[in-house]
Structures are given as C-alpha cells and as structure tokens.
Amino acid sequence: MIRLGLRYKFIFTLLGFTLIVAVPLGILAIMRFSDVLESQVRVRWETIVKFWGPAAFQVAQPSLCQRVLQSFRDEGLIYLKVTVTGEEVCSEHVGDLNAEAQKWLEISPISGALPPKPDVLVQKVFPFRGTAFLHLTYLEPVTKVRYRVEFYEDSTGQIQQRQIREDVPTFSALQLGVSLSTAQALVRREATLIALVVSGYLVLALIIAFMFYKMILGPAESLTKALQRFKLDPSARAHIATGDELEMLAHEFNAMADALSERNRRLEQMNADLVKANRAKSDFLAMMSHELKTPLHAIRGYSQLLLEGVDGPLTPAQREDLENILNAGDHLLELIDNILRFSKLEASEDRPYFEAVETSTIGEEAVKAVSALARSKGLELSYHVEPCTLIADGTKIKQALINLLSNAIKYTPTGRVTLSGTVRENEYIFSVADTGIGIPEHERSRIFEPFTQLDSSNTREFQGVGLGLAIVKKYVEMHGGRVLVESEVGRGSVFSLVLPLEPAHAEAEPPAGEVNHAHSRR
C-alpha cells in the first residue's frame, strides 16, 4: 500500500475537491448550452416553416425545392419535400445525405388522423453514424374538390351523363430536415472553452495548495523532519519563524530537546562515574583478594604441617582445632576465589577459551571436587553423564558444575545430590538435582543476582557471599546457553545448564589459569 506524505495528501485533497466541483458544473454548463442552442434552432425553423409553408403550397412547382435548398443550405437545411393536396410536388436533398436522413425524407408526413388545424411537428433524430438533425413537418388540412362522371337515364329513356362534385379531405405538407452540425460545433467549442477554464481552476487550485502547504503544513513537516533528525543527532533543532502556534510548538520542541540533551549528558556522566566506580571496586576486590590469599596460604600451609606432625605429636583436641582452622581457611579461600572470578567477569577480563571437551570428563572431575564435602554431610552423591564432545571452555563449565553441586550439598540436610547430562538435538543439558530445602517461587528471579542468598539475615544458617549462581549464569551465557530452575519447597531443586554443542562465537584465547581451591588441601 502506497503511503503518502502530508504534503501530497493536502494537495491531492484540494485538487480532488476542485475536480468534484468544477467538472460537474462544466458538464451542466455544456448540457445547458447545448439545450439552449438546440431550442433556438428549433424555434427559428418552426417560425420559418409556419411562415413559409402556406406560401409554398400556393406557388408549389418542381423547381421550388431546389431553389429553397440552395438558399438555406448554409443554415443547415439538408432535405426538403413539398406535398400539396396529398400529392408530392417536389423533393430535393443534399448530395451526401446519409441513410437515416434518406429514410426520414421518404416517410409519409401523416400516419393517422388529419389534424383539425395547421400544426408543426418537430422530431430530433440521432443517426447511428453522422450528425443529429431535426425533422420538421408543417401539416395543413385541406379539402380537395373532385368531379366524377355519372350516367343516368332521363325521362325519355335516353342515357345521359353529368358531373358530380365531391369534397375530399386531404392535406398539404412541408417536410424539412435541418442538420445540427453547426450547433454541435458551437457546443464543442464551448466544451473546449469550459475544459480550459476547468484546467485553469486546477492550476489555480494547485498554486493555492502549494501556498497553503507552505504557510500551514510546511512548518509542520519541517518540525517532523527535525524530530526525525533529533533521533539520530541530539543537536538537531527546529527552525520555524511563522509567528503563530507552529512557531510556539517548535520553540517548545527545542526546549524539550535541550532538556533531553542536558539530561542525557548528565546520565552519560553518571554512567561514566558508575563505570569508573565499578572498575575501582573490582580492582579493589581483586587487590584485596590477592593480598588476603598470601597470609591465608601461609595459615593453611602451617596448619597442614602441624597436622602432619612436623613439630611433634598432637593431642586429639589440638588436631581437632587445627582441622577447624584448615576448614575455615578452605572456606575463606573459596570466598576469595569467587570474588576474584566475579571481579574478572565484571571487568570483562575473563573470556572463554573454546576447545573440544568431553562431557563425561567434566562431570567426573566436578563430582570428585565436591565428593569430600558430600561425605562430610552424609549425603549420597551420584552422577550419570552421557558422553558427548562439546565446543566449550571446559574450565568454566566445570567450575559452573562445581558451584551448582556445592550449593546443592550446602542446602540439602539429608538425602542425595545427582548430576546428569543428556544430549537433546543441538544442545547438551547438565542437570544438578537435590532433595534439599527448595526455593520459593518469588525468590527464583533474584538468586542469580550478585551477593544474593535465600537467607540474607545476620543469623543465617548457610554461609557464603552469594556469588556462586551469579558466576554460573555468566559462564553459561558466555557459551550462548541458559540456566533453568525447577524447585518445590521442602522437596528439592533442579538446576539445568542448557549449552549449545557448538557456540556461534568462539574466541581462541587461552584461559588465564584457574584453580579450584574450594575443597583441596595441601
């Protein structure tokens, strides 16, 4: 469908209105002019016939028709026939008379009863080909005297003859054919003139339309174009000086554009400040994490040396205290590693390195990394991973599985935790199912937010900083995948990682080296 602009809609509307008004008026004028001309021709020839008819009957002779036709031929006379007391006296016509006119010339002037007084009959004839014409008949009733011979027997018995007079009613008629070619030529000339006038009105309407467009719609269109430019260039403004409401509208638009530009400038500045602050936060977290890991490794190392009896035997109470110190160190190291990973992700410094990896190997290594944690809680840990080759960053996928398994073990007081993997069309799905406490439906939309836990109170039962699932989500999205959650409070949860077998983008950049310290001991 063709979409017209406001300019063309306005111009075409005004031109259409002019056509609707001017063309019917022009046609009516032509029809009226044609009727007036035809009426004038009719009246004139009716007058001629009434005046000349009785005289023609008195002087009728064969040469009469020829003289009359030559005299009135320039005025449109095309044929003539004179009938006196029922007998044709003369008949004459032009040389190029068409068949229709020839037929009307030969037709009888009377087809019914005689009129009581002289009368003129006028008929308009439209031939199939040629010019229309008027057929006029002047009919005058007359009485024809006729004598007949009658034989009779007189008183003496002899045969005698005598003439008897009879008055026979008959008619005299004058038939004329008058061409309307002259009138039609005048009508065509008048139609041409009216067509020129209508064309002039259209041109005038076009000029008026452009003037009104320039005065009214032109500024509105300029304002529309300024708005379109403003979408691409915030510095674009509308420049309209009409001294009316349109100029006021343009002024308001410019004021609004200035306000938006100033607001955008402030937002950009605020965004730059936020990015800078976020980068500073990430840098601070990374620096502090590195600074914390150095003494933490020393604490863990010395604790392990003491547990191995380097400085002599330990009492059971001392061994228990050292194991608690080592466990606390492991937990703190896990928190620091999560903070470091998330800081890299926030700073866009941690990019995936895609290579061919085996799903069974990733699943087995992830289960081994958390097996000790599951045994310490008395949970059943099992896995069944369908073998498949993925194009992925194996380190990040394994870390995502470790985080999901750790969370499942953390929030499962009793029961089991299961890791499974299946191929579905062009995707591979890792699923971690547990029989833990479950997740309320209103909490599922926020558990992937950084530093968020189900229980954020100071007296919460489960430890952690709330970065595990946030890291999982970012790692999976790096691969073009998604994380699905199904859960029922009191019965457990199922987290699924849906990964494409081959991501649409693959960066051949080796990883920066990641070591999982969540449950390792020296």
| Single pTM value for the model | 0.45
What is the per-residue pLDDT for 220?
Answer: 75
Transcribe 171-210 into DSSP letters. EEEEEEEEE-HHHHHHHHHHHHHHHHHHHHHHHHHHHHHH
- The DSSP call for residue 441 is G
Partners of 393 in the β-ladder:
none
Rounded CA separation 352/383 (Å): 26
What is the per-residue pLDDT for 357?
Answer: 92
**Checking DSSP bridges between strand 416-424 and strand 380-385, what pairing results, if any?**
parallel
Q: How many CB atoms lie within 10 A of CB 286?
A: 18
What is the per-residue pLDDT for 454?
Answer: 62
What is the per-residue pLDDT for 392?
Answer: 92
What is the per-residue pLDDT for 408?
Answer: 92
Residue whose C-alpha is closest to residue 373's, from 397, 343, 407: 407
- The DSSP call for residue 283 is H
What is the per-residue pLDDT for 463?
Answer: 56
% residues pLDDT > 70 (the chain): 89
Helix segments in 411-501, DSSP class H: 468-478
Largest CA distance in the chain: 205
Tell me, letter by letter, the H, E, C secondary structure of 348-381: CCCCCCCEEEEHHHHHHHHHHHHHHHHHHCCCEE
Task: Write the CB contacts of 313 (distance below 8 Å, at least 6 apart in sequence).
Answer: none
What is the per-residue pLDDT for 346?
Answer: 67
Whether 177 contacts 78, CB under 8 Å:
yes
Hey, what domains does the chain have and what are their CATH numbers?
A: 1-58+181-233 (no CATH), 61-179 (no CATH), 351-522 (3.30.565.10)
What is the per-residue pLDDT for 2?
Answer: 62
Q: Is 487 exposed, middle or buried (0-12, 13-18, 19+ CB in 10 A)?
A: buried
3-state SS of the chain: helix, strand, coil percent to 5?
Answer: 50, 20, 25
What is the per-residue pLDDT for 509?
Answer: 45
Helix, strand, or coil here: 160? strand
What is the per-residue pLDDT for 513?
Answer: 39
> Helices then strands (H, E): number in the chain?
10, 12
What is the per-residue pLDDT for 289?
Answer: 66
Rounded CA separation 103/175 (Å): 13
| Sheet of 482-488, strands arranged across | 380-385, 416-424, 427-434, 492-500, 482-488
Low-confidence ranges of the chain (pLDDT < 50): 456-460, 507-522
